[in-house]
Structure 1
Amino acid sequence: MANSPENDRKSGHSAMQKPPIVSPQAWEVAREQLLVKEKAHTRARDALAAERRRMPWMAVEQTYTFEGPSGPASLLDLFEGRRQLIVYRAFFEPGVFGWPDHACRGCSMVADQVAHLAHLNARDTTLAFVSRAPQADITRLKARMGWDIPWYTITDHFDADFGVDEWHGHNVFLRDGDRIFRTYFINNRGDEALGSTWSYLDITPLGRQETWEDSPEGYPQTPTYKWWNWHDNYVAETSPNPKWVEVSDAGEAAFRNKESDVKED
């Protein structure tokens, strides 16, 4: 009864053009054919990130002031002492759909998919949200939605100066001492892919900071996998755990052998 034509008509399934139904062997062949294209896409994405790491930097000459949970904060303060900063402009303010109970639905979806920040922080990178809502409202919203992202109130023309006064977007900055540089900007559908640790690091000037990456000479890099950790262990461990080094070495060797087999085929 569940798969009857009548039920299909009611659910709209009858109008759906379904792909062929094949044997496990034929399905595996189709998957391997698509995998070739997917790997090419991954390599193209890596090449694009490498090009992004070579983009020119723009010096931020003006001073910007935000309001944070502890009071006034400068753009430099938003780095929290780290070298890289990603700032997302979230729309939460009077006039935005959902105010005062909610932020914009799209911006809220972005906040919902943000990975644990400890992994970004371990790569010397801070993620912060900024809005025009007062801090009291931001604090209330974060508590309601279960968000731990540092979130500041815009008090000047930061949003207009960095292309996020009328639409959401991520601005990326790098700190060299007390000097700040804008290194990248992404908005519209580009924001949709962000949220994971890797997607954020790929838009930063230093990247994932792993040895396999194509980065300019002198950029910080450490062995792949070795810096990975449980999110509550980064502070406790100042160097890679020997057992994890052993496990990750074995995993990397197996991966390289598999990649070599694919190339030979």
Structure 2
Amino acid sequence: MATTKQPLPSIVSSEEWKLALDQLLIKEKALTRARDALSAERRKLPMVKVDKNYEFHGDEGPISLLELFGGRRQLIVYHFMYAPDWKAGCDGCSWVADAMTHPAHLHARDTSLVMVSRAPLEKINQYKTRMGWTIPWYSSFESDFNYDFGVTTADGERHGASVFLRNGNDIYHTYFTGARGIEYLGSFWTYLDLTPYGRQETWEDSPEGWPQTKPYEWNRRHDEYDV
């Protein structure tokens, strides 16, 4: 039976490999220091007070933005794309949710992590059960929350992450990132970036013949790859 030969990286001696790895490590360390400097700038960003009252719906009933903190000082909200008329949650957002950390590690640093979508709670819970997630997930249905924070626009839904800081009962919005900024959140993309073939997407600068497909066309929800 005919087979297609896969392209491979160059095969070298252990000494040559170690030299190439050490050279790459210099650049990786520079990137780490640059990322640390950027994180320091992020920590010094000004913030804006949230004066509006928002109501969300969870299994415990109606809940306020303040209550989403769970008594902690910091709150990270992942804006999960799931419009009220969608049959399922966004497949890309599902990747992000699959990779989310155990909350205990965030709680140890006085930080809560929740997801918020515009879909009604019943739809959210059905999809959450299908995906096997335990992440706190709330509905902002009939709330201005998504609109006010720029993740539901005239052009449709966007994903993103908002960070909030609580000082007593006062809430402040300190940071937002969207689009590829979400990749930084411990996602599977960061794992794939470590591999020889990378993400295997056409935009990447890879050697000729490397396996590649268009972005956003190959990834699936984790229970759909065999369909």
Runs of 4+ in 1 over 6 A off after TM superposition: none
Partner of residue 59 from structure 1, selected from 49, 52, 59: 49
Which residue is 2:210 aligned to? none
Which residue is 1:45 aligned to? 35
Gaps of 5+ in 2: 191-227
User: What SS does the aligned partner of 2:70 have?
Assistant: coil
1:161 paired to 2:148: yes
1:110 paired to 2:96: yes
Q: Distance in 2 between matches of 1:117 and 1:151?
A: 13
Partner of residue 185 from structure 1, selected from 170, 176, 182: 176
Which residue is 1:8 aligned to? 4
What is the CA-CA distance between 1:115 and the residue it aligns to?
Answer: 1.1
Tell me how many residue pairs correspond in the alignment: 183
User: What SS does the aligned partner of 1:7 have?
Assistant: coil
Instruction: State the TM-score, normalized to the length of structure 1.
Output: 0.66
Partner of residue 122 from structure 1, selected from 108, 111, 119: 108
Q: Deviations over 1:209-258 (max 9, x none)?
A: xxxxxxxxxxxxxxxxxxxxxxxxxxxxxxxxxxxxxxxxxxxxxxxxxx
* Letter in structure 2 aligned against 1:182: H
* Letter in structure 2 aligned against 1:139: N
Q: Distance in 2 between matches of 1:19 and 1:140?
A: 44
* Letter in structure 1 aligned against 2:184: A
* Letter in structure 2 aligned against 1:85: L
User: What SS does the aligned partner of 1:46 have?
Assistant: helix
Q: Distance in 2 between matches of 1:68 and 1:140?
A: 13
Residues 85, 119 of structure 2: 8 Å contact kept: no
Q: Distance in 1 between matches of 2:133 and 2:183?
A: 18
Q: Distance in 2 between matches of 1:157 and 1:131?
A: 12
Which residue is 1:136 aligned to? 122
Residues 55, 62 of structure 2: 8 Å contact kept: yes
Q: Distance in 2 between matches of 1:193 and 1:89?
A: 15
Q: Distance in 1 between matches of 2:120 and 2:24?
A: 49
Gaps of 5+ in 1: 200-265
Q: Which has the larger radius of gyration?
A: 1
What is the CA-CA distance between 1:137 and the residue it aligns to?
Answer: 2.0
Higher mean displacement: 182-191 or 19-28: 19-28
1:176 paired to 2:192: no
* Letter in structure 2 aligned against 1:117: P
Structure with greater strand percent: 2
Q: Distance in 1 between matches of 2:10 and 2:124?
A: 50
What is the CA-CA distance between 1:20 and the residue it aligns to?
Answer: 2.5
Identical-residue share of aligned pairs (%): 55
User: What SS does the aligned partner of 2:150 have?
Assistant: coil
What is the CA-CA distance between 1:21 and the residue it aligns to?
Answer: 1.6
Q: Distance in 1 between matches of 2:15 and 2:183?
A: 35
Q: Distance in 1 between matches of 2:186 and 2:144?
A: 26
User: What SS does the aligned partner of 2:93 have?
Assistant: helix
